[in-house]
Amino acid sequence: METGLDRLLGGHPVDLRGRFGLLAHPASVDRSLVHVRRALAARQLVPQIVFGPEHGYGGEAQDMIGVADAVDEGGVPIRSLYGAAFSDLSPRPEDLAGLDTLLVDLQDVGSRYYTFVWTAVLAMRACAAAGVKTVVLDRPNPLGLATIEGKLVKEKYRSFVGLESIPVRHALTLGEIVAWRAEVEGIDPKLLSIVPVRGLASDAHADAWDRPFVMTSPNMPTYETALVYPGGCLLEGTNLSEGRGTTRPFELVGAPFLDGVRLARELNVLSLRGFPGFIARPTTFLPMFQKHVQTTCGGVQIHVTDRKLFRPFATYLALVTLAHHQNPEAFRFRTAPYEFVDDIPAFDLLTGDDRARLAIESGSDPVDVVDEACFLGDAETDDVVKRARNVIAAFTSD
């Protein structure tokens, strides 16, 4: 398998003779795990400016923590694209002044909520407005390109965890999403080029790559984390711990007010009602930071037993429903500001509208809640994904 970076370093034609910028993070590495910045420098290719997405160019910051500008080890300025306001998410005109090209190399994890794809889209828009060409060195989707989950985002619920309307588990690459938005928005094809992945089956997951999975953010340490994340991220919209502050984020779920034995039993019963591919194991854990810090939580660990059958969005939506029903007096949906939005519940931003939350609050059966959320792609959802896959050819040289 060759990523876009592998292909660039192997001789795929990308014109970097002019002044260029680089948008990257710690997982922007070649097959030998050499970072793109160092790999380019070894070829006497030095960016004029470096940009970092959420969590920072160095990947140190926790979720929703603003990152300051800095200077890299070679003296190149680093501009943060994750600050205190939505306007900080895009490169400023002065950042792009004098550049010919912006090279984008970001590893996505296959979930709409993961903000790197939207950073790439916003960067592409800013570059197009400035007459700067964007070159995306594409990377594979660690969840493969075969399974879609979650409905499209309604206009009112667009945010940085769903800037445009795609399903939660979108079965696309970052390059395909950027190309889709360029085609929809009428971006001149001369201002965007995608270097696609080559030599990988469409249904291949990260464990089929011929290299290690490099953590993409502080709480995305492994492929197994990415596999549950399309469901696990829903917990950010609740007062349940999503396992941040433990060694198994998003696999561990719980709260001080939950009975983990009961939750595991009810989840495992649901596995017989159309939620296959996992076992919920009752457990307790002690988060070292964030929600319920230094407080023992009862809950479960989700163990995936069959990744082809496992449906993370449906499974965790059912889990949230069962947790609510077990203790509705203590359970809460998040109302604090979330990803630069302060007037819509975070859970609604994550699911794409308010229907799932309202169904949970009304006491609906978990299966009915999942049906309400349309966890498998409908015709409209499939059409969006197909369009994204089809338009990338207009922006590649393959």
263-291 per-position pLDDT tens digit: 999 999 988 888 899 999 999 999 999 99
Whether the pLDDT of residue 325 is over 80: the answer is: yes
Report the alpha-carbon distance of residue 157 to residue 93 in Å, rounded. 28
Classify strands 297-304 and 278-285 as parallel, antiparallel or unpaired: antiparallel
Which pLDDT score is estimated for 382? Answer: 80
* Mean of pLDDT values over 30-57: 97
Three-state DSSP state, 154: coil
Whether the pLDDT of residue 124 is over 80: the answer is: yes
Report the alpha-carbon distance of residue 220 to residue 212 in Å, rounded. 13
Residue type, 65: I
pTM: 0.96
Count of beta carbons in the 10 Å neighbourhood of residue 62? 14
350-382 per-position pLDDT tens digit: 999 999 999 999 999 999 999 877 655 567 788
Residue located via tokens 């037993």? 305
Which pLDDT score is estimated for 281? Answer: 98
Helix H or strand E encompassing 303: strand 297-304
Which of 11-25, 217-231, 384-398 has the least mean pLDDT?
384-398
Dihedrals phi, psi of 232, to nearest 5 degrees:
-60, -30
Which pLDDT score is estimated for 250? Answer: 98
Count of beta carbons in the 10 Å neighbourhood of residue 190? 10
Residue type, 229: Y
Alpha-carbon dihedral 195, 199, 201, 204, rounded to 10 degrees: -80
Structure tokens at 195: 């270097």
Residue 68, burial from CB neighbour count under 10 angstroms (0-12, 13-18, 19+): exposed
Residue type, 162: G
Structure tokens at 237: 């919209």
Which pLDDT score is estimated for 220? Answer: 97
71-108 per-position pLDDT tens digit: 998 999 999 999 999 999 999 999 999 999 999 999 99
User: Angle 379-391/174-184 helices, nearest 10 degrees?
Assistant: 90
Which pLDDT score is estimated for 372? Answer: 76
Q: Could you give the C-alpha distances from 323 to 69, 235, 264, 363, in angstroms and in order?
A: 40, 11, 10, 11
Whether the pLDDT of residue 112 is over 90: the answer is: yes
What's the mean pLDDT when you consider all of the chain? 95
Which pLDDT score is estimated for 272? Answer: 81
> Dihedral of CA 200/161/134/33: which sign?
negative
Could you tell me the domains of the chain?
Answer: 4-207+382-395 (3.40.50.12170), 223-372 (3.90.1150.140)
